[in-house]
Amino acid sequence: MIPGPESDTHDAGTPAPGAVPGIAYRSERALFAGDTGTFALDIRQSLVRLLRGPYIDGTADPALWTTILTHRASLQQYLSEIFLLLSIDPERKIALLQPAEIDAVHTQPIVARKPLRREETLLALRLRMLLDRHAGTGTDVTITRSGAREILAEHRRPGALDDKRLDEQTDAALARLLALKLLLPSELATEYRVSNALALALPFDSIDQIPAYLAALDANGAHEIERETAAELELTLEDDAE
């Protein structure tokens, strides 16, 4: 019997003469009209979640976390095509995407990141140090609005005494870190939980590097250091789009 024009196999699964390799496999995986992908539904969903960002919390979504760990190599192969690296912290159960360092045009992240402002950077750095001090305790690291305000008050520019302005900067910094999900809401309206993702989001190989950045931000003429820090943070995470 001669296979019909729509048949990709003949006899017991033997590819038909002239059949295009992989057509039958892709047909089995097709999820919509015109689908030429080969990944299963759960792998595709994990890609969407990773690309949507800002990160994956394996504690909050264990099924997604298992998918990412199981198919890490396949996910990275796909992400490499668009100049992205899959960064995973197995202890904190955090996964996020970071841009590959490549000196070529049209290789920047697809979604533009807005740089962190000075107060947002300062607060993020101080919270990262707080997170490190609580490592291994098994307890959530939290910060209140008043605590965040005290941190920013310590880093006021010389001569800055406007309390109303400090309140505005505090609320703006908290709102931005909440948008990045580096801070998470708690049961209390003015208390926030520091996300473990902060450990991966900041561009430091060691926690010991942070005090120098803080000192540079406080010093006169530190604007170049500030912009460099903010730019690296900007490339790591984007605001939550949801």
pLDDT tens-digit series, residues 115-131: 778 888 889 989 998 98
Average pLDDT for residues 3-17, to the nearest whole number?
43
Q: What pLDDT shows up at residue 26?
A: 59
Q: What is the 3-state secondary structure (H, E, C) of 125-182?
A: HHHHHHHHHCCCCCCCCEEEHHHHHHHHHHCCCCCCCCHHHHHHHHHHHHHHHHHCCC
Options 3.30.1380, 1.10.3470, 1.10.10, 1.20.120; which CATH number does 118-236 get? 1.10.10
- Equal fold, 41-99 vs 118-236: yes
Helix (H) or strand (E) holding 57: strand 56-57
pLDDT, tens digit, 9 for 90 and up, residues 52-98: 888 999 999 999 999 999 999 999 999 999 999 999 999 889 999 98
CA distances (Å), 153 to each of 64, 69, 82, 149, 229, in order? 40, 42, 41, 6, 20
Domain boundaries, given as residue ranges, for the chain: 41-99, 118-236
72, 85 contact by CB (below 8 A): no
pLDDT > 50? residue 28: yes
CA distances (Å), 46 to each of 69, 97, 102, 197, in order? 10, 12, 25, 17
pLDDT > 60? residue 25: no
Handedness of CA 72, 73, 78, 82 (dihedral sign): positive
Fold of the domain spanning 41-99: Arc Repressor Mutant, subunit A (1.10.10)
Q: How far apart are CA 207 and CA 204, in angstroms?
A: 7
